[in-house]
């Protein structure tokens, strides 16, 4: 037996299935490696995507609770609407100041009154019988809706014409 044929056979001392077994093991290891690589790549991409939104979600909680304060102002001013006392003027000024604070964070209120009800923008809390408006029209806004960039941060809470 010459040396060339010898090298094509299994090395001396090893089981006949050894090469197959090693090949199979290598294939498995390689697949595992690729899988980990793929997972990591996806992970990295998503982390990048989420980094921006993580900073946002930190702010989100704060802004949402500030909106509750703005809502209270909305309600307070509704009642102070007629009285033009200096207290009421002062309240108006604080309200506008707070509004500018949230707007500086990229927040914009949107109008809902007279629009057609859209669950992307509105949360219905009731319907109102009315002959004036077409069915499905927002006739009362009890809580203002806000956009934050492209996202609807908080839908408006509305009543809709029956």
Partner 1 sequence: MAKAIGIDLGTTNSVVAVMEGGKPTVIVNSEGSRLTPSVVAFTKAGERLVGQLAKRQAVLNPENTIYSAKRFIGRRYSEVQSEIHNVPYKVVAGPNDAVRFEIMGKQYAPEEISAQVLRKLADDAAKYLGEKVTDAVITVPAYFNDAQRQATKDAGKIAGLNVLRIINEPTAASLAYGLDKKKHETIMVFDLGGGTFDVSILDVGDGVFEVRSTSGDGHLGGDDFDKVLVDWMAEEFLRDQGIDLRKDRQALQRLTEAGEKAKIELSSAIETTISLPFITADAAGPKHLEMRLTRAKFEQLTANLVDRCVAPVKQALSDAKITERDIEEVVLVGGSTRIPAVQALVRRLTGGKEPNQSVNPDEVVAIGAAIQAGVLAGEVKDVVLLDVTPLSLGVETLGGVMTKLIERNTTIPVRKSEVFSTAEDNQAAVDIHVLQGERELARDNRTLGHFRLEGIRPAPRGTPQVEVTFDIDANGILTVAAKDQGSGKEQKITITGSTQLSKEEIDRMVTDAQAHSEEDRKRREEVEARNAADSIAYQVERQISDLGDRVPLNEKARAEQLIAEIRELVKGNSSDVARLRQLTSDLQQVAYGLSSSAYSQAAGAQGAGTSSAQPGGGDDVIDAEFKEN
Specify which residues 122 forms β-bridges with.
156
84 binds partner 1 (CB under 8 A): no
Site for partner 1 in 39-78 (CB under 8 A): 39-40, 42-43, 45-46, 72, 75-76, 78
The token pair at 136 is 């499905």
36 binds partner 1 (CB under 8 A): yes
N-term to C-term CA, the chain? 97
Cβ burial 53-68 (10 Å sphere, 16+ → b, else e):
eeebeeeeeebeebbe
Shortest Å distance, C-beta 62 to partner 1:
16
Q: Which residues bind partner 1 (CB under 8 A)?
A: 28, 31-32, 35-36, 39-40, 42-43, 45-46, 72, 75-76, 78-79, 117, 119-120, 122-127, 136, 142, 151, 155, 157, 160
């Amino acid at each position: 037996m010459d040396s060339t044929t010898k090298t094509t056979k299994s090395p001396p001392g090893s089981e006949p299935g050894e090469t197959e077994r090693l090949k199979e093991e290598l294939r498995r290891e390689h697949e595992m490696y690729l899988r980990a690589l793929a997972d990591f790549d996806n992970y990295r991409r998503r982390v990048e995507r989420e980094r921006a939104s993580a900073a946002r979600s930190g702010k989100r909680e704060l802004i949402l609770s500030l909106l509750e304060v703005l809502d209270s102002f909305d309600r307070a001013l509704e009642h102070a609407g007629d009285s033009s006392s200096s207290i009421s003027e002062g309240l108006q000024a604080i309200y506008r100041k707070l509004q500018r604070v949230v707007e500086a964070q990229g927040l914009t209120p949107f109008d809902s009154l007279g629009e057609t009800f859209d669950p992307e923008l509105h949360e219905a809390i009731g319907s109102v019988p009315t002959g004036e408006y077409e069915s499905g029209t927002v006739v009362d806004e009890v809580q203002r809706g806000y956009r934050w960039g492209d996202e609807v941060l908080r839908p408006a809470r509305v009543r809709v014409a029956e």
